[in-house]
Amino acid sequence: MKIATLGLDIQPGKSKYSCECFEKLVKKFSPKKVSPYTVEFIGEDLEKADAIVFDTNRRLDFVLLDLEKIETRLSRADDERERALLVKAQGFLEKEHLLCDCDFS
């Protein structure tokens, strides 16, 4: 899993994750091969990330990035349903809400 970090002092690189539950399972089942979960911190490369971890003080950065993309898509949108959804998303972003916190139903 690739994790982008924004506004945090986390060095890019891979990290293996192991927890007590994992160790108990290994001890209980004695598998031939043990593969702890690995995550890769990739800095601020948001486009390649599977997940994003950020400092809440950088929240507005996400709003602005999404707003840019919405405006670009709006200029090319032909489908009325897509356009309506994009306009709704734009309204949320203009109120500085993250899209993941919004209700689109």
Q: Are 63 and 100 members of one domain?
A: yes
Q: Are 2 and 46 members of one domain?
A: yes
Q: Are 3 and 44 members of one domain?
A: yes
Q: What is the pLDDT of residues 4-51, one digit of tens each?
A: 998 899 999 999 888 899 899 999 999 999 988 899 999 988 889 999
pLDDT for residue 58: 87
User: For the chain, how many structural domains are there in total?
Assistant: 2
Structural domain of 46: 1-54
C-beta neighbour count of 105 within 10 angstroms: 2
Q: Are 1 and 50 members of one domain?
A: yes
Q: Are 27 and 38 members of one domain?
A: yes
pLDDT for residue 73: 94
pLDDT for residue 26: 93
Q: Are 74 and 101 members of one domain?
A: yes
CB-CB contact of 97 with 60 (8 Å): no
Q: What is the pLDDT of residues 71-101, one digit of tens each?
A: 999 999 999 999 999 999 999 999 999 998 9
Q: Are 1 and 42 members of one domain?
A: yes
- The model's pTM: 0.68
- The full 3-state SS of 19-88, as one line of letters, equals CHHHHHHHHHHCCCCCCCEEEEECCCCHHHCCEEEECHHHHHHHHHHHHHHHHHHHHHCCCHHHHHHHHH
